[in-house]
Structure 1
Amino acid sequence: MTIKQVYSPKQIEVLKGTLEKDWFITVLHGAKRSGKTKINNDLFLFELKRVREIADREGIKEPMYILAGVSSSTIQKNVLQELYNMYNIEPQFDKHGNFKLFGVKVVQAYTGNIGGVKSIRGMTSFGAYINEASLAVQSVFAEIVSRCSGTGARILSDTNPDNPEHWLKKEYIDKQNDNVLSFHFELDDNTFLSERYRKNIKDATPSGMFYERDILGSWVSADGVVYKDFDASKHYIHSKDLPELSTFFCGVDWGYEHWGSIVVLGEDEQGNTYLIEEHASQFEEIDYWVDVAKGIQERYGLRVPFWCDSARPEHVKRFQRERINAMNADKARLSGVESVAKKFKTNTLFICRDRVEKFPDEIYQYVWDKAKGEPIKQYDDVLDSLRYGIYNHNKPKTTVKLLKGGL
């Protein structure tokens, strides 16, 4: 088997760039599914073997190395599970969640909050691998860098792009030199993906920021309206033209001074989604929303799920006491917005124009905050309930194989 059968040209470029000369930090950044993590996982193994050689020369019995990610589950999913699948590497964890590989003690650190680095304070590390680096708290990233003071220590990292003002881009990627290397990936750099797959992904990715980041791997700000692919001529239908719907679910955004909203969504056998009812009001108490929900149950069944804004837990509990199938929604904003935007892009989300009043006011006024890279919290009441419903209904229910010893 030749190297070209194992690695893409971009991955070979990274291999040559990192193996043929010394460096301190390498950042692989760019599009999703472009091959960044695969090559970094292999470089992680190369680095552990290199550290073991350095330790042997220096007479160090057990050198230490940092494996970092946002959480234990992301390290498991992105790194350890992939190493198990590819090479049948199954670490044996100690009671602290650390393990030995190639004679090197690998210490896990979590970058999502400042408490995640307590495991590495005071240690001398011979290197680090930081997965999803742009999601790291900056002070945590800096702490990991400062711990890498062993002889020849080097730091691997990878990330999807974020706001162009992000500290990782400004402080590391834009300042690359002999000690800091960076490699940019686009989706098309992953030549092991079929042309058909890449075309389908491009066709399904929402226009604007999502396309530029996810496909082109660019560090760009969001701009303009959030749902750029919404087209009134395509996505509005009349209720009399609704097909037969097989599944129903709801999204709930609580409100009082600002508008509260419950939307009812239906799905046909082809996976198309229809907004079939909009209920939006101001200055209403929870009794009003209970009555709305019970009316929905009468029309669509007692078990219809209501994905609710978790900001008002007392309202969710009231729904549950009233035997309404209410659940806290995962409110991840960008992921949720992307799930709705993708359905507009693929023409699989339709709005019953004769059953909505507030949606038409919001859809063209819901815009990006360029500084934060998130939608501005205005004109989002019905759109938030739409997001809660669609994102949580379609959220993958995946299970990850836990390696022996757990995380």
Structure 2
Amino acid sequence: MSDKQLRSIRESARARISIWHGSVRSGKTIASLVALLLGIRRAPASGLILICGRSLQTIERNIIEPLQDPALFGAVASEVRHTRGATTATVLGHTVHLIGASDARAEGRLRGLTAALAYVDEITLLPEAFFAQLLARLSVPGARLLGTTNPDSPRHWAKVGYLDRTHELNLRAWHFRLTDNPSLTPQYLADLSAEYVGLWRRRMIDGAWVVAEGAVYDMWDEQRHVVAALPTMRRYWLGIDYGTTNPFAAVLLGLGEDGRLYAVSEWRHDSRLAHRQMTDAQYSAAVRSWLGRHQVEPEWTFIDPSAASLITQLWTDGHPGVTRADNDVRGGIRSVASALAGGLLYVHESCADLLDEVPGYSWDPAATAKGEDRPTKNADHSLDALRYVVHSTAHEWRHLLTTSGEPLNDRLPRADHLNSSR
């Protein structure tokens, strides 16, 4: 372990609140888990031991599974026992309660309990009220809270209410950068850096608490990212943003033989412009007719998860590979931004509505003032469809990202036009 990791473990034993924050893969989580194990071993006889996170699944993935890895924790790993889905685990002979906190209602799960030790995974993803209530529950003499987080907005409640007040509170914090993890190889650092651009590079790679402002896709360059010709496609996927009074948008994403991603075509219906609404059955027929004209059958169709009725209709009509899209907005924006910046994602000139939306897509200043990262909800329907399909297929293309941000090759793809039907 690095000197910073070891120092943070020692110093955390003397603070009521200990927070490890900074870039991804910087060693902060391992240091905090060692501090957690020591804290459990020395925990007061009275009071509960808690591990809190966004959900039970994230706690299992981010905390329990690493603790059970003998490559990380040796023989101690055998003393961490948990049945997947259970809300308790046994660690070093102590019962540990696992609490998911996905929304403000989670605060109620803490009321009435008394805790001696609490570990919080990804503090910035939890509701502020839950965190405050958790601190109030740590009433046993010597009780402590340990937590980790990646950076967020500099106006986030965790930064303003706690990290910026270390001189006022019984709190110690350690800021980690990638260079603080001695186990990372240069190739891994290069690959990881290629996956984050703009706002996320500054947060996740540099470990900076920076504000989201201006254009969401500030790397967008119409001269570079818009193409008039398309290569032969090896694979297709489809993203759909569902709307009845709002526009309905479908974006077809292709993986070309040149190893690039292309938004090759779009289909859109705006009931306000057309002066008529369409039923789910009509949407299903229209989308399948549009794909049929292009002689395309996508491997998967990723749909706005809230559009349950359309998903059912497409299933009924035999549309292949229908599934709910990954609707992590920030994660989806990061995937699209990484693909654009990495010279991997391009848009065919026929996708007029998508091209109209990209330049005006910006961060909501009112949300930014509250410490939240949220784009403006205006003229974003084709962009949402693109985000659904790009983010939901990230595991298929992320390895294609370049570290230089230059196109994967300098040769323009050969002509193979697809005209959009709108």
Q: Where does 1:39-188 land on structure 2 (aligned, <5 Å)? A: 39-51=31-43, 54-55=44-45, 64-85=48-69, 86-87=72-73, 88-93=77-82, 97-116=87-106, 120-177=110-167, 179-188=170-179
Work out whether 1:272 is the aligned partner of 2:265: no
Q: Secondary structure at the match of 1:247?
A: strand
Alpha-carbon separation, structure 1, partners of 2:224 and 2:3: 41
Alpha-carbon separation, structure 1, partners of 2:337 and 2:4: 30
Going from structure 1 to structure 2, the CA distance change for 1:383 and 1:114 (only over 3 Å counts) comes to: closer
Q: Which amino acid aligns with 2:7?
A: E
Partner of 1:13: 7
8 Å contact kept, 2:267–2:290: no
Going from structure 1 to structure 2, the CA distance change for 1:364 and 1:258 (only over 3 Å counts) comes to: same
8 Å contact kept, 1:252–1:261: yes
8 Å contact kept, 2:231–2:257: no
- Residue 269 of structure 1: CA displacement? 5.0
Unaligned runs of 5+ in 2: 272-276, 397-422
- Residue 15 of structure 1: CA displacement? 2.6
Partner of 2:387: 387
8 Å contact kept, 2:240–2:250: yes
Going from structure 1 to structure 2, the CA distance change for 1:272 and 1:17 (only over 3 Å counts) comes to: same
Partner of 2:278: 285
1:345 pairs, out of 341, 348, 359, with 341
8 Å contact kept, 2:117–2:138: yes
- Residue 125 of structure 1: CA displacement? 1.9
- Residue 130 of structure 1: CA displacement? 0.9
Alpha-carbon separation, structure 2, partners of 1:211 and 1:251: 26
Partner of 1:323: 318
2:182 pairs, out of 155, 180, 191, with 191
Give CA-to-partner distance per residue, 1:71-90, whole Å, 9 cap, x none.
11111111110011123235
Alpha-carbon separation, structure 1, partners of 2:295 and 2:148: 46
Alpha-carbon separation, structure 2, partners of 1:290 and 1:90: 56
- Residue 118 of structure 1: CA displacement? 5.7
TM-score, normalization by structure 1: 0.85
Q: Where does 1:1-40 land on structure 2 (aligned, <5 Å)? A: 7-19=1-13, 22-40=14-32
Q: Secondary structure at the match of 2:174?
A: strand
Q: Which amino acid aligns with 2:132?
A: A
Alpha-carbon separation, structure 1, partners of 2:287 and 2:58: 39
Q: Which amino acid aligns with 2:329?
A: R
Q: Which amino acid aligns with 2:343?
A: N
How many residues are paired up?
376
Alpha-carbon separation, structure 2, partners of 1:73 and 1:388: 22
Q: Which amino acid aligns with 1:343?
A: A
Going from structure 1 to structure 2, the CA distance change for 1:189 and 1:96 (only over 3 Å counts) comes to: closer
Partner of 2:222: 232
1:299 pairs, out of 289, 294, 297, with 294
Going from structure 1 to structure 2, the CA distance change for 1:281 and 1:45 (only over 3 Å counts) comes to: same
Give CA-to-partner distance per residue, 1:92-123, whole Å, 9 cap, x none.
45996323333433222222235546665433
Give CA-to-partner distance per residue, 1:192-222, whole Å, 9 cap, x none.
2112322332233122x11111111122221
Cα root mean square deviation, aligned: 2.4
- Residue 247 of structure 1: CA displacement? 0.8
- Residue 384 of structure 1: CA displacement? 0.9
- Residue 138 of structure 1: CA displacement? 1.7
Give CA-to-partner distance per residue, 1:44-87, whole Å, 9 cap, x none.
00111222xx53xxxx6xx5311111111111111110011123
Going from structure 1 to structure 2, the CA distance change for 1:298 and 1:279 (only over 3 Å counts) comes to: closer
TM-score, normalization by structure 2: 0.82
Alpha-carbon separation, structure 2, partners of 1:324 and 1:103: 52
- Residue 8 of structure 1: CA displacement? 2.2
Alpha-carbon separation, structure 2, partners of 1:374 and 1:115: 22
- Residue 298 of structure 1: CA displacement? 5.6
Q: Secondary structure at the match of 1:368?
A: coil
Alpha-carbon separation, structure 1, partners of 2:323 and 2:295: 17
Unaligned runs of 5+ in 1: 1-6, 397-407
Alpha-carbon separation, structure 2, partners of 1:362 and 1:218: 29
Q: Secondary structure at the match of 2:99?
A: strand
Structure 1 stretch 254-263 or stretch 175-184: which is displaced more?
Answer: 254-263
Work out whether 1:250 is the aligned partner of 2:242: no
Q: Where does 1:358-377 land on structure 2 (aligned, <5 Å)? A: 358-370=353-365, 371=368, 372-377=372-377
